[in-house]
Amino acid sequence: MTARKKSQRSELVIVERDGAINHRPAAIPPNQRKLTFGDRWSYAPAPEASDYIKIGPRYQLFIGGKFVAPRSGKYFDSINPATEEKLAEIADANAHDVDLAVSSARRAYNGTWKKMSGRERGKYLYRIARLIQEKSRELAVLETMDGGKTIKESRDIDLPLVAAHFFYYAGWADKLEYAFPGRTPHSLGVAGQIIPWNFPLLMAAWKLAPALACGNTCVLKPAETTSITAMHLAEIFQHAELPDGVVNIITGAGATGKAIVDHPNIDKIAFTGSTSVGKLLTQAVAGTKKKLTLELGGKAANIIFEDAPIDQAVEGIISGIYFNQGHVCCAGSRLFVQEGIFATVIRKLRDRIATLRVGNPLDKNTDIGAINSRMQLDKICELVDSGLKQGAKLVQPRLRLPAKGYWYPPSFFTGVTASHRIAQEEIFGPVLSVMTFRTPEEAIERANNTPYGLSAGVWTDKGSKIFKIVNKLRAGVVWANTYNKFDPTSPFGGYKESGFGREGGVHGLLPYLTLN
Partner 1 sequence: MASVATAFPTGLMPLRLKLQEVRTAAGDGADEIDMVINRGVFLAGDHDRVFDEIAATKEACGTAHLKVILETGELQTYDNVRLASEIAMRAGADFIKTSTGKISPAATMPVTLVMFEAIRDFFYETGIRIGMKPAGGIRTAKQALAYLVMLKETLGDDWLTPDLFRFGASTLLNDVLMQIVKTVDGNYQGPDYFSLP
- Residues annotated as catalytic (active site), given as ranges: 295, 329
Give the DSSP letter of residue 16. Answer: P
Question: Which of 347, 389, 393, 404 lies at the binding interface for partner 1 (CB under 8 A)?
Answer: 347
Q: How far apart are CA 339 and CA 370, in angstroms?
A: 34
Question: Which stretch, 20-28, 104-112, 324-332, 472-480, contacts partner 1 (CB under 8 A)?
Answer: 20-28
Q: How far is the CB of 154 from partner 1 (least distance, A)?
A: 21
Q: How far apart are CA 494 and CA 500, in angstroms?
A: 6
Establish if 23 lies at the interface with partner 1 (CB under 8 A): yes
Q: CA 310, 315, 319 angle in degrees (round to 5)? A: 140
Establish if 265 lies at the interface with partner 1 (CB under 8 A): no
Q: Which residues within the stretch 306-325 sit at the binding site for partner 1 (CB under 8 A)?
A: 311
Strands (E), 69-182: 75-80, 85-91
Neighbours of 310 (CB within 10 A): 18
Question: Which of 3, 7, 19, 41 lies at the binding interface for partner 1 (CB under 8 A)?
Answer: 41
Q: How far is the CB of 457 from partner 1 (least distance, A)?
A: 20
Q: Which residues within the stretch 369-398 sit at the binding site for partner 1 (CB under 8 A)?
A: none
- φ/ψ of residue 430, rounded to 5: -80, 60
Question: Which of 3, 7, 21, 52 lies at the binding interface for partner 1 (CB under 8 A)?
Answer: 21
Question: Which of 3, 11, 25, 464 lies at the binding interface for partner 1 (CB under 8 A)?
Answer: 25
Establish if 44 lies at the interface with partner 1 (CB under 8 A): no
Amino acid at 125: L
**Residue whose C-alpha is closest to residue 509's, from 491, 495, 485:** 491
Establish if 418 lies at the interface with partner 1 (CB under 8 A): no
Question: Which of 3, 7, 12, 471 lies at the binding interface for partner 1 (CB under 8 A)?
Answer: 12
Question: Which stretch, 13-21, 273-281, 394-402, 407-415, contacts partner 1 (CB under 8 A)?
Answer: 13-21
Neighbours of 111 (CB within 10 A): 13
Question: Which stretch, 18-26, 134-142, 193-201, 248-256, contacts partner 1 (CB under 8 A)?
Answer: 18-26
Binding mask 273-312 for partner 1 (x = CB under 8 A): --------------------------------------x-
Amino acid at 449: N
Give the DSSP letter of residue 506. Answer: G
Q: How far is the CB of 469 from partner 1 (least distance, A)?
A: 22
Exposure b/e, 24-63, CB count within 10 A at least 16 = b: eeeeeeeeeeeeeeeeeeeeeeeebeeeeeebeeebbbbb
Question: Which stretch, 27-35, 72-80, 119-127, 293-301, contacts partner 1 (CB under 8 A)?
Answer: 27-35
User: How many chain residues are in contact with partner 1, going by CB under 8 A?
Assistant: 33
Q: Do the beta carbons of residue 63 and residue 248 sit within 8 Å?
A: yes
Amino acid at 97: D
**Which region holds residue 151: left if phi is over 0, alpha if psi is between -120 and 50, else beta?**
alpha
Q: Do the beta carbons of residue 318 and residue 304 sit within 8 Å?
A: no
Question: Which stretch, 33-41, 69-77, 122-130, 171-179, contacts partner 1 (CB under 8 A)?
Answer: 33-41
DSSP track, 426-445: ---SSEEEEEEESSHHHHHH
Neighbours of 17 (CB within 10 A): 8
Binding site for partner 1 (CB under 8 A): 1-2, 5-6, 8-9, 12, 15, 17, 20-25, 27-30, 32-33, 35-41, 43, 311, 347, 351, 355
